[in-house]
Amino acid sequence: MKKNLNKQLTKFLVFGFIAATICACNKDEMNSGIEASRNVSNSIGVTNGMLKFKDKQHLNRVLDSLGKLSITDIDNFTKQFEYTSYALDTLNDDQIEVTPDPVLARLVNRNASFQIGDTIVTLTPYSDILISAKDIENYTNYIGGTANKESFKEIPVKGFSLNKFVKPTEAVGTQLMSQSFQRSLQKSQTTIVESIKKMQSLNTTAVAQMPYSWYGEDNIESPEEYHGRPEKVILTVYSHSRSFGKAYGVKAVGRAYRKGGVFGSKKWRNDEIHTLTFTLRKVRNSVGVEVNPNSTATLNNQEEMNLIRSDGAVDYVTGGDIGFQDLDFSVSFRKNGNSSSPTRIVNYFINSGNRTFNKNW
């Protein structure tokens, strides 16, 4: 399958869209992505344990190049730099993810930070924290939980999901955060009650839609079990706008409650999905760029699968919000190779900004 690339030029916006199923890319496309990644790697710096990009345009080029690679190739690419990415830090295994974008999660360090020009950007699930790189002490204090609130700027994320932070059995506004998210709050010196109120207020605008477009995040989990061990597959559909750009896509992640890490502790960790077939029938963004690939790809024995991803390309620079206007795909998968493991099926639709899905469990 060849990737489909459609570009629309308007007076105010140049938007590049890429709809890709990584495993189904032909060999020439994959090689070109690897070569492009090598070219951009020469201009990426490392400072204070994080990657440094010259500006937003530079970051966009890196994201665009890496977005054409498999997750395994992206991880191999980042190994050449002396930092630990958020996605690969085992201490973050049971944490609430700061971004559903698998490429972005590999460019920020274990503290969810990178540097763009003279600004250090630290991701939280619902906002970006901006700190001047000239004041590295302020950044250190922020990470350590002792920062003065006047020492950083906070920009809300458009499209974050409030529900992902709470226990599903408790009502919004009165619930307690998960223990892992409570620990992450220490960095911003924010109490749980303040965070609930803050997320509710930000959520009012964060999920606001352009006409006929959808912003947000869906996490569809399948309950699995292997020889008594709890497992799951998480299918995530997301459309976010952050302070430095936009990203939207679809990914699948396998998880298992198992031992691992340096100390062999048991917790939820990434775990291979035995097989997954992804069929993409239609996708259209909110400014009218349409792709009808009618493509199918099958991926085997991978922990994380980047099924669709677009970073907005030049839109990172020119501004404007990009979301899903239309989306039509199906996923079928088996979490493990056990003959008794059931095949799960999800059909997902967004039609003129209205989304729905159905599943077989």
Across 145-159, 207-221, 225-239, 313-327, least confident range: 313-327
Q: What pLDDT band is residue 321 in, cutting at 50, 70 and 90?
A: low
**pTM exceeds 0.85:** no
Tens digit of each residue's pLDDT (9 = 90 or more) over 3-56: 333 333 332 222 333 333 333 344 454 555 556 556 666 789 999 999 999 998
pLDDT above 70 coverage of the chain, percent = 66
State the Rg of the chain over Cα.
Answer: 20
Task: Tell me the three state secondary structure of residue 48.
Answer: coil
Q: Residue 227 pLDDT more than 60?
A: yes
pLDDT, residue 32, reads 52
Q: What pLDDT band is residue 317 in, cutting at 50, 70 and 90?
A: very low
pLDDT, residue 36, reads 57
Sorted by where each begins, the domain ranges of the chain are 19-359
Task: Tell me the three state secondary structure of residue 31.
Answer: helix
Q: Which residue has the higher pLDDT, 158 or 73?
A: 73
pLDDT, residue 206, reads 38
Tens digit of each residue's pLDDT (9 = 90 or more) over 145-181: 888 888 999 988 876 554 444 333 333 332 333 344 4
Q: Residue 252 pLDDT more than 90?
A: yes
Tens digit of each residue's pLDDT (9 = 90 or more) over 189-220: 444 445 545 555 544 433 334 456 787 888 99
Q: Residue 137 pLDDT more than 50?
A: yes
pLDDT, residue 311, reads 62
Nearest to 125, CA basis, from 71, 188, 58:
188
332, amino acid identity: S
Contact predicate 259/265, CB 8 Å: yes
Angle at 179 between CA 153 and CA 258, to 5 degrees: 120
pLDDT, residue 65, reads 85
Mean pLDDT of all residues in 299-306:
94
pLDDT, residue 280, reads 92
Q: Residue 143 pLDDT more than 80?
A: yes
Q: What is the mean pLDDT of the chain?
A: 75
Q: Which residue has the higher pLDDT, 301 or 308?
A: 301
What is the C-alpha to C-alpha distance for residues 105 and 87, in angstroms, rounded to an integer? 5
pLDDT, residue 265, reads 83
Classify the C-alpha dihedral 315-319-325-328 as positive or negative: positive
What is the C-alpha to C-alpha distance for residues 6 and 291, in angstroms, rounded to an integer? 7
Q: Residue 294 pLDDT more than 80?
A: no
Q: Which residue has the higher pLDDT, 273 or 155?
A: 273
Q: Residue 61 pLDDT more than 50?
A: yes
Task: Tell me the three state secondary structure of residue 145.
Answer: coil
Across 89-98, 197-206, 223-232, least confident range: 197-206
> Where do we find the tokens 């503290």?
111
Q: What pLDDT band is residue 98 in, cutting at 50, 70 and 90?
A: confident
Contacts of residue 100, defined as CB under 8 A and 6 or more positions apart, other chains included, come to 217, 236, 238, 240, 249, 251
pLDDT, residue 292, reads 57
Nearest to 300, CA basis, from 319, 277, 323:
277
pLDDT, residue 274, reads 97
